[in-house]
A and B are shown apart, each in its own frame.
Chain A
Amino acid sequence: MSDHHKETFITKYIFSIDHKMIAKQFLITGMLMGIVGMLMSILFRLQLSSPGEPFAILEWFGVDWNPTLDANGNVIGTPIMEGVLDPNLYLSLVTMHGTILVFWVLTAGLSGTFANFLIPLQIGARDMASGFINMLSYWFFFAATVVLLISLFVHTGPASAGWTIYPPLSAIKETIPGSGLGQDLWLIAMALFVVSSLLGGLNYIVTILNLRTKGMSMSRLPLTIWAIFITAILGVLSFPVLLSCALLLIFDRSFGTSFYLSDIIIGGEALHHTGGSPILFEHLFWFLGHPEVYIILLPALGIVSEVMSVNSRKPIFGYKAMVLALIAIAFLSFIVWGHHMFITGMDPFLGSVFTFTTLLIAIPSAVKVFNYLATLWKASIRFTPAMLFTIGFVSTFLTGGLTGLILGDSALDINVHDTYFVVGHFHIVMGLSAIYGMFAGVYHWFPKMYGRMMNKKLGYLHFWVTFICAYGVFFPMHFLGLAGLPRRYYTNSAFPMFDELTDINQLITTFAIVGGLIQFIFVFNFFYSIFKGTKATKNPWESNTLEWTTPIERMHGNWPGEIPTVYRWPYDYSKPGAEKDFIPQTEPLKEGEEEH
């Protein structure tokens, strides 16, 4: 297998079937999309802190963008007139921010990168089971990205019905301009995205099941691989349901069916649709939507477990419990979708069932947090930037997870549903946690990816500013929510009862801008280090896992000779009786040594 054909530029960097290159492609696409999504959030945060006021920066963005033309083709307006965002554009930005971050950055950018990069390296395989499918997976994702980006420049604006695209708002273009061509492109992009995820997921599962090197039993898999494996199963089972859900929406939008539409009057006309049910859409959507949350979170949990263990110089506490917790979370995630729909008029009994299943998720989550704390206890922590982000992860996972107890409780949900409390909750537990996991992964495996180190000091700067600003942005949102402020409001100035909240909004926006800008430090550090970073050693973090036994120079096939054999689990750090504080997995057990 190692006698690969000579690689040309195209097969090496573009249509590559090497898992490491595909991982980098996913990472860089995800990062670029992350910047786009983050800039969007800053634009609408500006609007929220000073509603209706002009901003020079908006003017700068708004020039010549999606102009409205009169009959003669003269520009009569743009969604940003004189630096003021219009409400439709605000909703577009919110929608696209959600879509990009949830799917493009935290699903493809996170899973795509680390699943592709780590699976063959950590299980001891030359490459994925099917390099070709893997390549297809990326290029479907790339096509989805292109379509989504094109939708930003559509005359009627991109999709703006929220990332959850509830019909009828998303189905009828007269209800909001974004539900025209923009929504069509959104759906096409999403269909391509689902195909990409499915192809990727298939490959991950099969690779993990079949291509493990000798000695790499399932109980010796690093937790990253376990997390990715379970994520892939979740994806393969839940994304097709999103596809069927989107398919029916496409039919309703373009072919006149009535799956989700019923008894609607728009613009003075009664539509012919009868007998559909928008609630049906919500059921189908959240059947994917909820597992999707864990598709985002689980890889981060895996990365954090691995990085924490390495930098604590201590085995991850309760390996089996960690795996069982992952499985339990994954299983439960399929039977909790109704907690997004407590106030849709669902049968109260069903509401009770969903409350029950939802709150059960707290148990495996609690186990994970306690196990992380136990790992840190009496550790010998080495503060690499990656380690900082894993500690940040535990903090946000904890904070956000706790507020989940309120939202999962149907009775309490009545008053906080769709308020800023929810925004605060999911940004902390899902958004921040997953992105911290992603940062931790990038800082940790960058030496393996590019053979160079990322700058440590910039990493520290990046972490501390991000950590402080992110809490500064999302923690106050709980108070906004408890004050009754609904999410997706263009401005809260329409209600006197919210007037006093402006101060909080300004505080949030300030933190958002600082926290947003600091991400460019990361981007800079990333690209600078690719070319100019200091050269990395073979195993810079003194880690046990297999990827650090590969040569520094990237090669197709990963190991020059035989694939190493594995003799032990990956968490033998600071094991008593060992010479060093780490024992690579390739080291045979000494006589009389217990495995763990």
Chain B
Amino acid sequence: MTNILIFIVGFLGIVTLVQILRVSELMSAVHKQDVNEVNEKDNIFNSKMMLIVGALFLISFFWQYFEWKHLLLPEASSEHGVIIDELMTFTMLLIIFVFLITQPLLFWYSYKYRKGKGNETAYYFAHNNKLEIIWTVVPAIVLTGVILYGLSTWNKITNADVKGATVIELYAKQFNWTARYSGADNKLGSAHYKLVSPINPSGTNALGVDTRDNDVNAAWKDDIITTPVDNVVHLVKGQPVLLKFRSQDVIHSAFLPHFRVQMNCVPGMTTQFAFTPTKTTAEMKATEGEDFDYVLLCNKICGASHYNMQMKFIVETQEEYDTWMSSQKTLSEKVSTQTVITELVTQK
């Protein structure tokens, strides 16, 4: 029934529209006017609209900014994040400056130079080498500055000194994250996807860490893997962290907006990102409200629950961290050593 109603309403709408158009065309035929010829009235109407809508557009830009300013991400909580923010502010101010010059100009010209009384003919102005050179060279110079500033920031971020950084692995899969701390030796034990338990019966853990016990393979022993129950990453304020990323199935992207950190997690390879948190969760709660938490999001389309692939991060003081750390069990305490890595299976 509703469908029929919708159909009828739609149909009547179209019929009405057709009738209105017919009437208006007949009217103009009576007045010996071409209904679709753009006349003075149209030019005045549209040029005024240009001015009004242009003004509204610029006002709405400011309105949006002041109305929604508080929703934007708070100041960066990491060392490199601060320099990203500085670059962002610089670039933003630059583009807003250009925006606020060119857009009003566009709407103003559209308003001012409408065809009509007093402006029947345009000024023949085909080219002007001087002008053209100016507006090629000026953007080029400005961009050189932007590029140099951008690249110096980029180099600072990517060439961060990772010596002494705590190594933590983030392992992504549909649709959750698992973290592995490198433990006392600050080295992650080697891992292979074929060792992921329970895919491989002789695997001992869900991250595929190779837990065979021999001279060359000991880094895994003090590794700590987070459990689904307590799936939180703890970081120390001021202590550099080197995050290493792996993925089990599809491409995910680890996005820590408050730290200005983002890196893809790609199956078959390890990626990394180094940063230093500068504000504890408690400090952030004090400024941002009690319900604030650092979160890790997935930022690369990865399937149905992409929107809900999250993990909490806690930044705390060294003492708090140590207390928490001491309550954690290392991998060697949790799992039995692998003896052999095999799958003896029957052939059909």
Contacts and interface: CB of A to CB of B under 8 A. Distances in A.
Touching chains A and B, CB distance < 8 Å = yes
Interface of A: 56, 60, 86-88, 91, 161-162, 166-169, 172, 175-176, 261-266, 268-270, 274-279, 312-315, 317-321, 343-345, 348, 351-352, 355-356, 359-360, 362-363, 366-367, 369-371, 373-374, 376-384, 388, 391, 394-395, 398-399, 402-403, 405-406, 409-412, 414-415, 417-419, 453-458, 460, 464, 467-468, 471, 475-476, 479, 482-484, 486, 488-492, 494-497, 500-501, 504, 524, 528, 532-534, 571, 573-576, 581, 596
30 contacts: A169-B251, A172-B249, A262-B268, A265-B199, A268-B198, A270-B194, A270-B200, A277-B268, A277-B269, A314-B124, A317-B127, A352-B154, A376-B109, A381-B47, A388-B46, A391-B110, A399-B103, A402-B99, A409-B154, A410-B151, A411-B84, A414-B262, A418-B255, A456-B35, A468-B56, A476-B64, A479-B68, A492-B307, A494-B307, A504-B68
Given A176-B303, A534-B36, A369 B102 contact: yes
Contact of B91 (A318, A381, A412, A528): A412
A412 B250 contact: no
A175 B114 contact: no
B280 interface: no
Given A381-B115, A483-B71, A575-B124, A345 B264 contact: yes
Given A91-B301, A352-B155, A410-B151, 6 more contacts: A410-B150, A414-B84, A414-B260, A455-B21, A490-B304, A534-B36
Contacts of B261: 414
A343 B267 contact: no
Interface stretch (B134-142, B180-188, B212-220): B134-142
Contacts of B36: 453-456, 533-534
A479 B64 contact: yes
Contacts of B46: 383, 388, 460
A43 B195 CA distance: 43
A376 B109 CA distance: 6
Contacts of B232: none
B17 A524 contact: yes
B257 interface: yes
B151 A263 contact: no
Interface stretch (B223-231, B291-299, B322-330, B331-339): B291-299
Interface string B247-260: 01111010101101
Contacts of B196: 265, 270
A412 B84 contact: yes
B272 A345 contact: yes
B158 interface: yes
Given A355-B154, A356-B151, A482-B72, A467 B53 contact: yes
B123 A314 contact: yes
Interface string B65-100: 100100111000000010110011001101100110
Interface in B110-151: 110, 113-115, 119-128, 131-132, 135-136, 139-140, 143, 146-147, 150-151
Contacts of B34: 534
Nearest to A533: B36
B161 interface: no
A264 B249 CA distance: 5
Given A168-B249, A411-B154, A534-B36, A495 B301 contact: no
B304 A314 contact: no
B295 A495 contact: yes
Contacts of A409: 87, 91, 146, 150, 154
A367 B136 contact: yes
B287 interface: no
Contact of A279 (B263, B266, B307): B266
A518 to B, nearest CB: 13
Interface in B21-80: 21-22, 24-25, 34-38, 42-43, 45-47, 49-50, 53, 56-57, 60-61, 64-65, 68, 71-73
A475 B103 CA distance: 14
Nearest to B194: A270
B53 A356 contact: no
